Amino acid sequence: MSITRINELDYVRCIAMLMVVMGHVLFSLKIEHTALIAIIGICEMPLFFVVSGYLAHKDREESFKETMSRLLVRSRTLLVPLVVWSIVLNLCDERITFSLSMVYRGGYWFFIALWWCDVLNTFAAYTSKKFKFCMVADMVLYSSIYAVILLGRIKDIDLGGILPIQNVQYYFPFFVLGLLMRKYKFVNDVTLNKYSYVVGMLLLIIGWYFSSIESFVIWFVAACGAVVVVWMACREINSELKVAKILSIIGKNTLPIYAIHYLFIAIMPCTLRDVLNIPHGFFFQLVITFVYAVLVIFLCLLVDRILSLNPITRMIFFGESKKREW
C-alpha cells in the first residue's frame, strides 16, 4: 500500500535545513551571540527531531525480525554518512589521525544523536505494540526512558564518545513529541491548533528575548513554541506553488545536504567576514547568509545527484540502496 506524502513535513525540514546552513555560515565567520544566531539556535534542530519522530511511528504491526531489519536499514543511512563524510572533512582539513575524531566530527553529532533516538524508540515502540499500551502507558514508558537518559547525563556517560548524551537529553523529548503526535490524534490536535499557535508564538518571542541567559528551560520552552509556529505556518503553504515544490525538494534531501554542506562552509570566501561584521547588522547578516545558504544547498544537491547516479557510490556515501525522491 502506498504511503501518502505529507508535504508540510518536507517544508518544515527545508526551513530547518536552511537555518542550519545559515547558522554554520555565521559561526564560520566568527559571528556569535547575535539575534539571528539565537533564533536559528532555538528553531533548527528541534524541528528536525520532531519531524523524525513523527515519521518514525509505523501504524502496521511488525514482527521483531521486521523491526530489527528496519532498524538496520535506518542505522546504515545514518551511520554511513557519519563515518564517510567525517573522514572526507578530516582529509580536506588535512587532519590525518586514527582517533575517534576521524570518524566523528563535532558537526556531525546530529546523525548519531538521531540514531540513538531511533534505537531507543525502536525497542520502546515494539514494547508498546506488543503489550498494546494506551497513550498514558506510552507517556510513562517514554518518561522512564528519558529518566535513564537524564541519569546518564548526570553521570556524564558518553561510551567513549559515541553517545552524545547532552544532545540526546535535549532532543529526545522533541522526537517523542513528534511520535506521539503521529500515533495519537489527541496529542496532534492539542499541539497544533489556533490557540497553541498563539501560545507558541508568545513562547518563541519570550524565549528568544531571554535566550542570552542560556537556560535549558528557556531554550526548551522557546523551541516548543518554534515547532508549533513553523509547523502551523507550513500547513498554509499551497503545494501547487513553485516555491512549495522547491521547498519539497530540499526537504526530501536534507540528509545529503547536511552531510555535504560542511565542505562548502569550510571554503567560504573570507571577504564575507568584513561584509557581515557590522554592529547590529541583523538584516545584513540575514540577507547575506540566506543567499549564501541557498547557494550552498544548490551545490549540495548537485553533488548528491552526481554521487547518487551510481548505486555503488550512493551506498558508499549515503548508505542508501534506493534513490531519494525529487
Q: Is the pLDDT of residue 60 over 70?
A: yes
What pLDDT digit, counting tens, does each position of 74-108 carry?
A: 999 999 999 888 888 877 776 665 555 555 555 78
What local confidence, expressed as pLDDT, does residue 121 receive?
Answer: 96
Q: Is the pLDDT of residue 136 over 80?
A: yes
Supply the pTM of this predicted model.
0.92
Residues 182, 188 contacting (CB under 8 angstroms) = yes
Mean pLDDT on 227-246:
94
pLDDT band at 62 (very low <50, low <70, confident <90, very high): confident
- Alpha-carbon distance of 315 to 124, in angstroms, equals 29
Q: Is 145 exposed, middle or buried (0-12, 13-18, 19+ CB in 10 A)?
A: middle
- Alpha-carbon distance of 157 to 166, in angstroms, equals 9
Q: Which of 180, 181, 47 is nearest to 124 (CA)?
A: 180
Residues 178, 231 contacting (CB under 8 angstroms) = no
Going from the C-alpha of 317 to that of each of 73, 176, 264, 308, 312, the distances in angstroms are 14, 29, 17, 9, 9
Q: Is the pLDDT of residue 181 over 90?
A: yes
What local confidence, expressed as pLDDT, does residue 2 receive?
Answer: 41
What local confidence, expressed as pLDDT, does residue 270 receive?
Answer: 57
* Selected residue with higher pLDDT from 277 and 304: 304
Mean pLDDT on 4-29:
90
Residues 200, 228 contacting (CB under 8 angstroms) = yes
Mean pLDDT on 151-172:
87
User: 50: number of CA atoms within 13 Å, CB side?
Assistant: 26
What local confidence, expressed as pLDDT, does residue 1 receive?
Answer: 34
Return the exposure string of 55-94: e unless at least 16 CB atoms fall within 10 Å of the residue's CB, then b. Answer: ebeeeeeeeeeebeeebeebeebbebbbbbbbebbbeeee
The mean of the pLDDT values for the chain is: 87
Mean pLDDT on 50-73:
89
pLDDT band at 324 (very low <50, low <70, confident <90, very high): confident
